[in-house]
């Protein structure tokens, strides 16, 4: 048991911590508050914190003006699609590296991670041209492929660290029980790794949702996800803050909620199991 902390010390720390946390959270809070203001209140000086005319009008206007749901739908499809296809090839790979490692497995894992170090600009031009020539620009399929490759190394790493924690004796027991490798994967490994696979999916959805380099470069309209939707608000003409706030709130809310639920697994996932 830890020593009882003096209550003065405790409250001092609490106060400082809450103050700093509030400061960090403030931009988000402010955005959400502003999204419920009229444009007049939004631009008021001094700023109005809680006492203003609450209105939902901005959300309607944003949806009408830039069709939020179309972008949001693209975001969902891109995030889930890229995650699904990446898992499809990542699960067997991670299984193989965790349970049937060869001499080069460590090197292979490091190499996979190193592909993440490759700056996207090195691939931007050719990929842009390939996409243009194959008619993939501004298509969901094309972007799903890009996002999938982008996050594949992280997904494999995450799964690998989760699989590593499953005792190999259990898979051997399945093998003694006469399970083929395929059945071993389906009936034993995957069900046991469900928590790990779930957090992998979660993290990947968050990363794909927020990806803004390729989505900005390769989409314009049809396949454009939310980062593009927000970027369209950056042009100064017709910019209204309350509307911008409503748009921003709608773009970040789903992933913020998801992220809050996933924060514990996130640490583990993003640090490749080095921090639990």
Partner 1 sequence: MATQQSRALGRIAVAPSVIALFLWMIVPLAMTIWFSFLRYNLLDPNYACSLLTPGQLFDEANRCFAGTSNYYYFLTDPAFFKAMTNSLLIVGSVLLISIVGGTLFALLLDQAIVGRNIVRLMVIAPFFVMPTVAALVWQNMLMDPIIGFISWITKSLGMGAIDWFTHYPKTAVVIIVAWQWFPFATLILLTALQSFDEEQKEAAQMDGTPPLSFFWYMILPHLARPITVVVLIETIFLLNVFAEIYVTGTGGRAGNLPYLVYQYGLLSNDIGGASAGGIVAVVLANIVAFFLMRMIGKNLEG
Partner 2 sequence: MGNINLRNVRKAFGDAVIIPGADLDIKNGEFVVFVGPSGCGKSTLLRLIAGLEDLTSGAIEIDGKNVSSAAPSERGLAMVFQSYALYPHMSVRNNIAFGLKMANVPKSEIDEKVAKAAATLNLTDYLDRKPRQLSGGQRQRVAIGRAIVREPEAFLFDEPLSNLDAALRVNMRVFIMQLHQDLGTTMIYVTHDQVEAMTMADRIVVLNRGNIEQVGSPLELYNKPQSLFVAGFIGSPKMNFVAGKVAAGHKAHTIGVRPEHIDIVAGKASGGEPSSSPSILEPMRFFMSMPASAAISSCAPTASMTASQATKSR
The CA angle 86-117-92, to the nearest 5 degrees, is: 25
For residue 52, what are its two tokens? 């203003």
Cβ-contact 86, 151 below 8 angstroms = yes
- The binder of 233, among partner 1, partner 2, none, by C-beta within 5 to 8 A per type, is partner 1
Residue 255 in contact with partner 1, rule: CB under 8 A: yes
From the number of C-beta atoms within 10 Å of its C-beta (0-12, 13-18, 19+), residue 135 rates as exposed
Phi, psi of 113 (to 5 degrees): -65, -35
* Nearest approach, Cβ of residue 64 and partner 2 (Å): 49
Between 77 and 149, CB nearer to partner 1:
149
Residue 107 in contact with partner 2, rule: CB under 8 A: no
Residues 15-54 touching partner 1, rule: CB under 8 A, are: 16-18, 20-22, 24-25, 27-28, 30-31, 34, 43-47
Between 59 and 209, CB nearer to partner 1:
209
The CA angle 235-257-150, to the nearest 5 degrees, is: 65
From the number of C-beta atoms within 10 Å of its C-beta (0-12, 13-18, 19+), residue 42 rates as buried
Residue in 40, 60, 102, 195 binding partner 1, rule: CB under 8 A:
102
DSSP label of 1: -
Residues 128-167 touching partner 2, rule: CB under 8 A, are: 167
Between 1 and 191, CB nearer to partner 1:
1
Between 140 and 203, CB nearer to partner 1:
203
Between 131 and 140, CB nearer to partner 1:
131
Residues 166-185 touching partner 2, rule: CB under 8 A, are: 167, 169-170, 172-180, 183
CA distances from 57 to 27, 47, 81, 121 (A): 21, 20, 33, 40
Residues 203-242 touching partner 1, rule: CB under 8 A, are: 206, 209-210, 212-213, 216-217, 226-227, 230-231, 233-234, 239, 241
The residue with tokens 């999938």 is 148
Say how many C-beta atoms besides its own lie within 10 A of residue 255's C-beta.
20
- State the residues that interact with partner 2 by CB under 8 A: 167, 169-170, 172-180, 183, 187-188, 191-192, 194
């Amino acid at each position: 048991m830890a020593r009882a902390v003096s209550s003065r010390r405790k409250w001092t720390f609490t106060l400082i911590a809450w103050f700093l946390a509030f400061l960090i959270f403030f931009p988000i809070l402010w955005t959400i508050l502003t999204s419920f203001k009229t444009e007049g209140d939004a631009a008021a000086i001094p700023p109005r914190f809680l006492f203003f005319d609450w209105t939902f009008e901005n959300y309607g206007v944003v949806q009408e003006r830039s069709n939020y749901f179309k972008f949001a739908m693209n975001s969902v499809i891109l995030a889930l699609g890229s995650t699904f296809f990446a898992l499809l090839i990542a699960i067997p790979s991670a299984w193989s590296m965790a349970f049937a490692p060869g001499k080069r497995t460590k090197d292979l894992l490091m190499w996979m991670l190193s592909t993440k170090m490759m700056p996207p600009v090195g691939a931007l031009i050719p990929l842009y041209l390939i996409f243009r020539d194959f008619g993939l620009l501004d298509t969901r399929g094309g972007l799903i492929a890009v996002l999938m490759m982008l996050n594949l190394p992280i997904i494999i790493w995450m799964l690998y660290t989760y699989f590593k924690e499953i005792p190999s004796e259990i898979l051997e027991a399945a093998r003694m029980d006469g399970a083929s490798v395929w059945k071993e994967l389906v009936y034993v490994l995957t069900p046991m790794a469900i928590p790990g696979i779930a957090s992998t999916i979660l993290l990947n959805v968050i990363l794909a949702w927020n990806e803004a380099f390729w989505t900005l470069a390769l989409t314009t309209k049809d396949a454009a996800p939310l980062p593009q939707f927000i970027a369209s608000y950056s042009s100064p003409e017709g910019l209204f803050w309350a509307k911008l706030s409503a748009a921003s709130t709608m773009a970040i809310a789903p992933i913020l909620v998801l992220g809050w639920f996933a924060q514990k697994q996130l640490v583990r996932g993003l640090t490749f199991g080095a921090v639990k």
